[in-house]
Each structure stands twice: as structure tokens, then as C-alpha cells.
Homo-oligomer: A and B are copies of this chain.
Amino acid sequence: MSMKVGARNKIKGKVSSIKTGDIMSLVKFDVTDPCTMASVLTTESLEELGIKDGDEVELIVKAIHVLPVKN
């Protein structure tokens, strides 16, 4: 893709379901390729979380913050 997007997370997904509503719609995607994800949080929250290299975490993202882009 020749377009550059100013965001850290760009994840490949394949559409698996579409549910259309009056104003909003919900789309699901299968993600199979390994990828890197990034989180920005306050340094305070990071210290409280107490994570270090190799730690396993869960990354929570509200669906409303996921922006699909199609070439």
C-alpha cells in the first residue's frame, strides 16, 4: 500500500461476519498472521501495571476504536 497511516497498529484481517444496524454496524474479522501491537498509556499506569519484557497480558480494545481500511 502506497498510503501511509499515522498509527502504530495495522493488523491484517479477513471479514468473517457483518451485522448491519440502523446507525451503527458491527463487523468481525479473522486475524491469523502474527503481528506486533502497541499501546500508549500514562507512565503512572505503566508503573502500576508492573509489566516487563516477556510478560503475558490481554489487550482490550473497544470495537468502536477499530478502523477498517480496504485497498
Contact = CB atoms under 8 A, between A and B. Distances in A.
Interface of A: 1-32, 34-46, 48-71
A44 B63 CA distance: 11
B36 A69 contact: no
B15 A54 contact: yes
Contacts of A7: 41, 45, 60-63, 67
Contacts of A19: 23
A34 B24 contact: no
A69 B59 CA distance: 6
Contacts of A17: 53
A29 B54 CA distance: 9
Nearest to A17: B53
